[in-house]
């Protein structure tokens, strides 16, 4: 394979933002032969973000430093950012020589896709750092992204909103119309591992899944048309609440707290532990956030981006 050259005069440092996501809808439509699950989901990118600084080095290898990130454990080589960098250098035949600093702001194990977004940011940052065209190498990068995690393709190539099928990697961009609602995001303080959540899922009648998929199509249509929140708040759905809420009291209490605060659209994101509420405007969101902060949970007021 011909090596991709960084070339003389290329930038030596690149900074990349790694935004979180919430799922406005998540239904599990089946179990796959590869052990994963087929999904119907609606991703929405939000402004809460990690950041990466990538610097070309004279020393060979990939060196990763993580700042923040409570509950992160294991050696740097196990981090998705390090794995993304290793995959990039191998795929493009570039000798690895980079220092990466990851600043964590997105809670770990929160259902917000922080690790997946970090991996996507690493890939896009390395492309910029070494002069590799993302568009000309889209297929190769998509393959790397999916090998790193089911949500990574959304962060690498998805827009602000996208519906996802397959493992979540088959993406259809969604352009929302009209004004978007405000967000109150609550993290109850302890992570929820994803694997046990999917393993705890119980079989669901096909008719129930089909009915939910009709709701999914109505939700996408409503957001695309710019319908007000009151017209589609009831269409939000997450199948993974079924195994998570009974097993994780902190998540259950955080969700119930948002409901009792008067929020009209409340949902858990991904496999948890974060829950969120949508509000008509920033003033309403600030009131909900003020009530939620009294519980001792971490509360954020991000925006769709």
Domain boundary among 145, 173, 201: 173
pLDDT of residue 252: 97
On whether both 137 and 154 belong to a single domain, the answer is yes
Residue 1 lies in a domain: no
CA pair distance 122, 93, nearest whole angstrom: 17
Q: If you ran DSSP here, which 8-state letter would residue 34 be given? A: T
CATH number reported for the structural domain that contains residue 114 in this entry: 3.30.230.10
pLDDT of residue 71: 67
* Active-site annotation, residues: 21, 151
pLDDT of residue 272: 97
Domain boundary among 134, 155, 173: 173
* DSSP-derived pairing of the beta strands 97-103 and 61-67: parallel
The total number of structural domains that make up the chain: 2
Identify which has the larger pLDDT, 29 or 7: 29
Which residues are paired to 23 by β-bridges?
43
Name the burial class of residue 58, with classes exposed (0-12), middle (13-18) and buried (19+) by CB atoms within 10 angstroms of its CB.
exposed
Report the pLDDT averaged over residues 63-87.
Answer: 89
CA pair distance 102, 121, nearest whole angstrom: 10
Residue 73 lies in a domain: yes
Q: Is the pLDDT of residue 86 over 80?
A: yes
3-state secondary structure 75-97: CHHHCHHHHHHHHHHHHHCCCCE
Report the pLDDT averaged over residues 204-230.
Answer: 97
Reported as a single tens digit per residue, the pLDDT across 175-197 is 999 999 999 999 999 999 999 99
Confidence of residue 57 (pLDDT cuts 50, 70, 90): very high
Q: Is the pLDDT of residue 5 over 60?
A: no
Q: Is 141 helix (H, G, I), strand (E, B) or coil?
A: helix
Reported as a single tens digit per residue, the pLDDT across 38-53 is 999 999 999 999 999 9
Confidence of residue 264 (pLDDT cuts 50, 70, 90): confident
Residue 24 lies in a domain: yes
Domain boundary among 173, 196, 223: 173
Q: Which of 5-14, 52-61, 156-165, 282-291 shows the lowest mean pLDDT across its residues?
A: 5-14
Residue 41 lies in a domain: yes
Q: What angle do CA 151, 91, 50 make, to 5 degrees?
A: 40
Q: If you ran DSSP here, which 8-state letter would residue 266 be given? A: E
E-only strand ranges, the chain? 13-31, 37-56, 61-67, 97-103, 161-165, 170-173, 182-187, 237-238, 265-268, 275-279, 298-300
Q: Which domain holds residue 142?
A: 13-173
Q: Is the pLDDT of residue 283 over 60?
A: yes
Residue 145 lies in a domain: yes
Name the burial class of residue 180, with classes exposed (0-12), middle (13-18) and buried (19+) by CB atoms within 10 angstroms of its CB.
middle
CA pair distance 135, 112, nearest whole angstrom: 26
CB 263 within 8 A of CB 278: yes
On whether both 54 and 18 belong to a single domain, the answer is yes
Model confidence, pTM: 0.94
On whether both 152 and 206 belong to a single domain, the answer is no
Confidence of residue 1 (pLDDT cuts 50, 70, 90): very low
- The number of angstroms, rounded, from the C-alpha of 205 to the middle of its chain's C-alpha atoms is 28
């Amino acid at each position: 394979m011909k090596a991709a050259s960084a070339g003389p005069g290329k930038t030596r440092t690149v900074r990349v933002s790694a935004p979180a996501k919430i799922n406005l809808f998540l239904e599990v439509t089946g179990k796959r032969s590869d052990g994963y699950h087929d999904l119907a989901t609606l991703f929405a990118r939000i402004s809460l973000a990690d950041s990466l600084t990538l610097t070309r080095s004279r020393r060979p290898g990939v060196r990763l430093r993580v700042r923040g990130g409570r509950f992160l454990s294991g050696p740097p080589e196990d981090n998705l950012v390090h794995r993304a960098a290793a995959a990039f250098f191998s795929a493009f035949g570039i000798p690895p020589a980079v220092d990466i600093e990851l600043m964590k702001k997105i809670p770990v194990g929160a259902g917000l896709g922080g690790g997946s977004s970090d991996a996507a940011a690493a890939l896009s940052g390395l492309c910029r750092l070494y002069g590799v065209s993302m568009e000309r190498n889209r297929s190769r990068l998509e393959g790397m992204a999916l090998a790193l995690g089911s949500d990574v393709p959304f962060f690498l190539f998805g827009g602000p909103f996208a519906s996802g099928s397959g493992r979540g990697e088959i993406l259809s961009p969604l352009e929302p119309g009209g004004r978007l609602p405000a967000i109150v995001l609550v993290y109850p303080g302890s992570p929820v591992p994803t694997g046990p959540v999917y393993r705890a899922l119980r079989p669901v009648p096909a008719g129930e899944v089909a009915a939910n998929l009709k709701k999914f199509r109505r939700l996408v249509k409503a957001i695309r048309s710019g319908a007000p929140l009151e017209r589609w708040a009831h269409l939000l759905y997450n199948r993974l609440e079924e195994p998570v809420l009974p097993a994780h009291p902190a998540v259950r209490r955080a969700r119930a707290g948002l409901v009792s605060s008067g929020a009209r659209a409340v949902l858990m994101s991904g496999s948890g532990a974060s829950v969120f509420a949508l509000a008509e405007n920033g003033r309403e969101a600030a009131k909900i956030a003020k009530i939620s902060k009294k519980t001792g949970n971490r509360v954020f007021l991000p925006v769709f981006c």
